Structure 1
Amino acid sequence: MAVVLILVFVAVASVLFHLLSPWWWTPIASNWQYIDNTITITFWITGFVFTAVVLFVAYCVFRFRHKPGNRAHYEPESRKLEFWLATVTAIGVAAMLTPGLFVWNQFVTVPKDATEVEVVGQQWQWSFRLPGANGKLGTSETRDVSADNPLGLNKNDAAGLDDIIIEGGELHVPIGKPVKMVLRSVDVLHDFYVPEFRAKMDMVPGMVTYFWFTPTRTGTFEVLCAELCGVGHPQMRGTVVVDTEADYQAWLQQQQTFTQMMASGEVPAKN
């Protein structure tokens, strides 16, 4: 009987913890409410299955507890039971995966009017590159990374000469406009993650990954690395500031271009 009570307590306590605890998401600050909805569906399905299984086990422990003279019925196979278990499991898995496939399609389908912003991860800081007046990012190559060219930009690519370089500082983006985050790592695996945006993506050396989002409220949001990348991983943090259009343009005018950086012979200060 003690085992039965413990199992019932685990089931009830798990449901109450989910419903009453304050651990749920931070307030959302982008268009990715779909992410929250998908995770909520997953919680409902897995939570129902978990509760049902625990309560069923409690019932079995109570219903088929040992009694003198009772013998268990031996039934090694049950086609009917196997069919229903496989069917219900398949339906449950499909119900969890299907919404995610639609959301993933939206997640990687970038609007045509999105502005590209490159994020470069390296042990243990974030760097950013924004397009200049021509609206295009120049090409880059990890092998070209050096002390005076920290992001490895191609010096012979005219499209990148007016690119804006921000090393170890704050990234600013305007509110209400879609942004494509182009992600690149120059050393090990990293993961660019802003909890309030509900958007994250691995950064794999030798690959370029991406996602997009549209900021929906102004504010300052912390950037985290969500992939263990070495001893300095906990300190690999940055900042994304969502500005009004006027504030964004004012900030943009104060930033240094790649050409200016090379002409001055200075490496951008690390904040």
Structure 2
Amino acid sequence: MIVAASLVLIVLVSVMFHLVSPWWWTPIASNWGYIDTTLVVTFWITGTVFAAVVLFMAWCVFRYRHKPGRVAHYEPESKRLEIWLTALTALGVAAMLAPGLVVWKRFITVPDAATEIEVVAQQWSWSYRLPGEDGRLGSSDVRQISPDNPLGLNPHDRFAADDVVIEGGDLHLPLGQPVKVNLRSVDVLHDFYVPEFRAKMDMVPGMVTYFWFTPTRTGEFEVLCAELCGTGHGWMRGYVLIDAPADYEAWLGEQLTFAGLPAGGVRLAGTAEEGGDP
């Protein structure tokens, strides 16, 4: 009886904790409302299964408790029960997977109006690159990385000259502007994660991964690395600040471009002497 009552109590406390808990979704800062909907669907499906299994265990403990003279009934299998359990399990898994496939398609289908930026991960800090006046990012290569060129931009690419380089600082983005976030790692596996954006993606050395989102509210949001990347993993943090358009333009005007770094400056100076187009 104590075991059965304890199991029932676990279910009741779990449900009450959900109803009165302060741990609701954090304020969202992007257009991913349907990700929250998918999480809620998954929560209710798994929560219902959890409650059903634990209550069934409690009923079995109570119903088949020991009594003097009771003999156990042996039933090796039940095809009807197996069919029902298989069908319900398949239905529950499909109900959780189907919304995820829809969300994933929207997650990686970038609108034409999106601005491309780049996030570069390196043990154990975040760096960023934003397009300059030409509106596009220049090419880059990890083999170009040096103390003077921390993000490995191609010094011979004219589109890279005005790229805004933010090494180890915070990322600012304008409110209401769709953004395609290109993700690159220069050493080991990392994961760019901003909980309020409902957006995270692995960063794999040698690959460029991406997602997109639209900031829908101003504020300061913490960046976390969600992939164990070494001894400094826990300190690999930063911030994304969503600004009003005027504030964003003012901040952007204060940042260094690749041409202002030694690697970019040397290349531009050489191009000017040769009379070429920078």
TM-score tier by shorter-chain length is over 0.9
SS at match of 1:67: coil
Question: 2:251, 2:57 → 1: CA distance?
Answer: 61
Map 1:21-100 → 2, pairs under 5 A = 21-100=21-100
Q: Which amino acid aligns with 1:170?
A: D
Map 1:52-201 → 2, pairs under 5 A = 52-201=52-201
The one-character-per-residue Cα deviations of 1:76-105 (angstroms, maximum 9, x if unpaired) are 111111100000000011111111111111
Question: 1:53, 1:241 → 2: CA distance?
Answer: 44
Moved more, 247-256 or 78-87: 247-256
Match for residue 12 of structure 1? 12
Question: 1:67, 1:223 → 2: CA distance?
Answer: 59
- Structure 1 stretches (4+) deviating beyond 3 angstroms? none
Question: 2:143, 2:82 → 1: CA distance?
Answer: 56
Q: Which amino acid aligns with 2:243?
A: D
SS at match of 1:172: strand
Question: 2:118, 2:205 → 1: CA distance?
Answer: 14
Match for residue 240 of structure 1? 240
Map 1:207-218 → 2, pairs under 5 A = 207-218=207-218
Q: Percent identity?
A: 68
Question: 2:204, 2:25 → 1: CA distance?
Answer: 27
The one-character-per-residue Cα deviations of 1:51-76 (angstroms, maximum 9, x if unpaired) are 01111111111111112222222111
Match for residue 271 of structure 2? none
Q: CA deviation at 1:264?
A: 5.7
The one-character-per-residue Cα deviations of 1:240-271 (angstroms, maximum 9, x if unpaired) are 11111111111111111111113667xxxxxx
Question: 1:180, 1:146 → 2: CA distance?
Answer: 26
Question: 1:221, 1:59 → 2: CA distance?
Answer: 47
Q: Which amino acid aligns with 2:196?
A: E
Question: What is the TM-score when the length of structure 2 is the normalising length?
Answer: 0.92
The one-character-per-residue Cα deviations of 1:135-179 (angstroms, maximum 9, x if unpaired) are 111111112111111001111111111111010112111101100
Root-mean-square deviation (CA, aligned residues, Å) is: 1.2
Moved more, 254-263 or 211-220: 254-263
Match for residue 229 of structure 1? 229
SS at match of 1:146: coil
Match for residue 203 of structure 1? 203
Q: Which amino acid aligns with 2:77?
A: E
Question: 2:236, 2:58 → 1: CA distance?
Answer: 46
Question: 1:189, 1:20 → 2: CA distance?
Answer: 38
SS at match of 2:261: helix
SS at match of 2:149: coil
Question: 2:146, 2:158 → 1: CA distance?
Answer: 19
Question: 1:108, 1:117 → 2: CA distance?
Answer: 15
Q: Which amino acid aligns with 1:252?
A: L
Q: CA deviation at 1:131?
A: 0.9
Match for residue 269 of structure 2? none
The one-character-per-residue Cα deviations of 1:177-208 (angstroms, maximum 9, x if unpaired) are 10011000001111111111111111111111
Question: 1:60, 1:201 → 2: CA distance?
Answer: 44
SS at match of 1:246: helix
Question: What is the TM-score when the length of structure 1 is the normalising length?
Answer: 0.95
Q: How many positions carry a matched residue from both structures?
A: 265
Match for residue 261 of structure 2? 261
Question: 1:100, 1:16 → 2: CA distance?
Answer: 28
Q: CA deviation at 1:6?
A: 0.7
